[in-house]
Amino acid sequence: MRRFKGYIFDLDGTIYLGDHAIPGAPETIAALRAGGARVAFLSNKPIEPASSYADKLSKLGIPATPADVLNSSIVMARYLARTAPDARVYLIGEEPLAEELRQRSITMTEVPREATHVVVSWDRQFTYKKLDDALQAIKGGARFIATHPDRTCPVPGGEVADVGGMIGAIEGVTGKKVELVTGKPSPITVMEALTMLDLSAEDCIMVGDRLETDMRMGREAGMATGLVLTGITGREQLESSPIRPDYVLGSVADLVDAADLVNLADPAK
Amino acid sequence: MRRFKGYIFDLDGTIYLGDHAIPGAPETIAALRAGGARVAFLSNKPIEPASSYADKLSKLGIPATPADVLNSSIVMARYLARTAPDARVYLIGEEPLAEELRQRSITMTEVPREATHVVVSWDRQFTYKKLDDALQAIKGGARFIATHPDRTCPVPGGEVADVGGMIGAIEGVTGKKVELVTGKPSPITVMEALTMLDLSAEDCIMVGDRLETDMRMGREAGMATGLVLTGITGREQLESSPIRPDYVLGSVADLVDAADLVNLADPAK
């Protein structure tokens, strides 16, 4: 397998499953870094700050800082700061997204008619009032954009309603489709990840467990793609899908040779 | 114009506009009744009980009782009582709908996994919790049905989010389309109206201001249709629509001859 300058990893299903690291993941990341590769971690989940992911990864044996992590809240805040720094945002979303917007000096408003953008994200405090405010803002000309497209989020024992509900509610009252989704598989997420790594697409591989988001996004961006079979996708779905990753990996551990892992385990050798 | 045994009237835009009767409406209804016709009033708005409509009509000079009024809450409750009397309903809706269900001894449950039906209506107390409960209920096999299809509801100075938001939210998280909508233009509403009047479709006319709901429903049910131009539809929309009502009326007052109105105004003649 070719060595890349940059490795962009999905998190849940790829690096860890719930609260457990995928066996071999810490050693693999360490080996890649030891070989000079740059590593970024990518999640569509907007309801926790980058520092939470960095802490979790570090606890699982993968040292990480918030600067190594990109989630859909960060991508949205960076996108707005780049393209619409004077935006006045009516936000349907939780505190970590609000905090990302504040950090980039994006103005938020509670007054629908003042809003230039309705930014929609996963919001467990979503109410009828927020829905009606979004309707009034969009009728007044505000853009309708969302952080990510996920219908549901996996949780132990099942799944819970995700941003798909908030997007669907607003589409349902406005009769308009969401104009832009910045999270995976949007190329906006790829651009932010490449900027973070300071590398170009052809030097990077996207590694993840989902064909429709991770693999599709990597392919469309011109990156190599590596599907891991530790998450949502099994060999059966892979065979029936039109999306063909460049590499199919039993797990993230297959990214490096066993020899590299041994050397790392005992740096004296 | 032909005389009918039964007249089914839409309310807002047809009989009244906001808090004012359409000029001539009280006299027209009185003349129709004096001539032996039966009259029913139909609304998709589920958030007020039939008694509110009856009171409002009576105050505007059109004597009415709750038995003359059919709204989308009543239609849903009757539909369930007829087709699924043992249903266990997880309700997204307001008190007037809950009361209609209770009156027909339909069981409601707060426990998503116990629900056989998720009944979705306009709910100004809609929250993320209700959305997630609906997801869990539908994943558990509950049917997903709604009282009416309206995206928004007109209010003085604009419009507010209606049931389209609740339906869209649930479609957005489940990936399933709502299975059944019982309100206008559903034939279920026609059946209930005809049952209420104890008449068959060919003896009735549907009178309303909306092509896509009132006129479409009347036509599909085999009733005559009369479009009034006092509401949302103007001559321009009428000309560009594929739906052709049997009669186009300046207002509901055109349903009866001037002579009838004069006789009524002075019964001694």
Class at the top of the CATH hierarchy for domain B6-44+185-265: alpha beta
- Quickly count: other Cβ atoms within 10 Å of residue A127's Cβ: 17
B66: which DSSP letter? G
Taking the C-alpha atoms of residue A181 and residue A208, their distance in angstroms, rounded to an integer, is 19
pLDDT in the model for residue B53: 96
Q: Say yes or no: ipTM exceeds 0.85.
A: yes
What's domain A6-44+184-265's architecture? 3-Layer(aba) Sandwich (3.40)
- The two three-digit tokens of residue B230, written as one number: 């006092």
Domain at B85-181: CATH code: 3.40.50.1000
B211: which DSSP letter? I
The angle subtended at Cα B38 by Cα B37 and Cα B41, nearest 5°, is 130
Chain A 29-68, CB below 8 Å of chain B: which residues? Answer: none
Nearest chain B residue (CA) to A129: B124
pLDDT in the model for residue A166: 98
> Residues A72-116: pLDDT tens digits?
999 999 999 999 999 999 999 999 999 999 999 999 999 999 999
Please state whether beta strands B158-161 and B152-155 pair in parallel, antiparallel, or not at all (unpaired).
Answer: antiparallel
Residue A157: list chain B partners with CB under 8 A: none
pLDDT in the model for residue B269: 46
Residue A168: list chain B partners with CB under 8 A: 168-173
Nearest-neighbour CA in chain B from A153: distance (Å) = 10
**Local confidence pLDDT in tens for the 269 residues of chain B:** 889 999 999 999 999 998 999 999 999 999 999 999 999 999 999 999 999 999 999 999 999 999 999 999 999 999 999 999 999 999 999 999 999 999 999 999 999 999 999 999 999 999 999 999 999 999 999 999 999 999 999 888 899 999 999 999 999 999 999 999 999 999 999 999 999 999 999 999 999 999 999 999 999 999 999 999 999 899 999 999 999 999 999 999 999 986 676 565 555 54
pLDDT in the model for residue B263: 60
Taking the C-alpha atoms of residue A230 and residue B218, their distance in angstroms, rounded to an integer, is 56
Which residue of B113, B120, B124, B128 to mutate against A (max A Cβ within 10 Å)?
A: B128
CATH topology match: A6-44+184-265 vs A73-181: yes
pLDDT at A269 over 50: no
Residue B173: list chain A partners with CB under 8 A: 151-152, 161-162, 164-165, 168
Q: Is A170 on the interface with B (CB under 8 A)?
A: yes
pLDDT at A267 over 60: no
Q: Where are the domains of chain B?
A: 6-44+185-265, 85-181
pLDDT at A258 over 80: no
Cβ(A93)–Cβ(A120) below 8 Å: yes
pLDDT at A265 over 60: no
Q: Hey, what CATH topology would domain A73-181 get?
A: Rossmann fold (3.40.50)
Nearest-neighbour CA in chain A from B138: distance (Å) = 12
Nearest to B128 among A152, A161, A170 (CB): A161
| pTM score | 0.90
pLDDT at A260 over 80: no
Looking at residues A232-261, what average pLDDT do you find?
90
Looking at residues A150-171, what average pLDDT do you find?
94
What are φ and ψ of residue B237, in 5° steps?
A: -60, -35
Nearest-neighbour CA in chain A from B149: distance (Å) = 10
Asked if B125's CB is within 8 angstroms of A135's CB, the reply is no
Taking the C-alpha atoms of residue B249 and residue A248, their distance in angstroms, rounded to an integer, is 68
Mean pLDDT, chain A, rounded, equals: 94
A48: which DSSP letter? S
pLDDT at A171 over 80: yes
What distance, in Å, lies between the first and last C-alpha atoms of chain A? 23
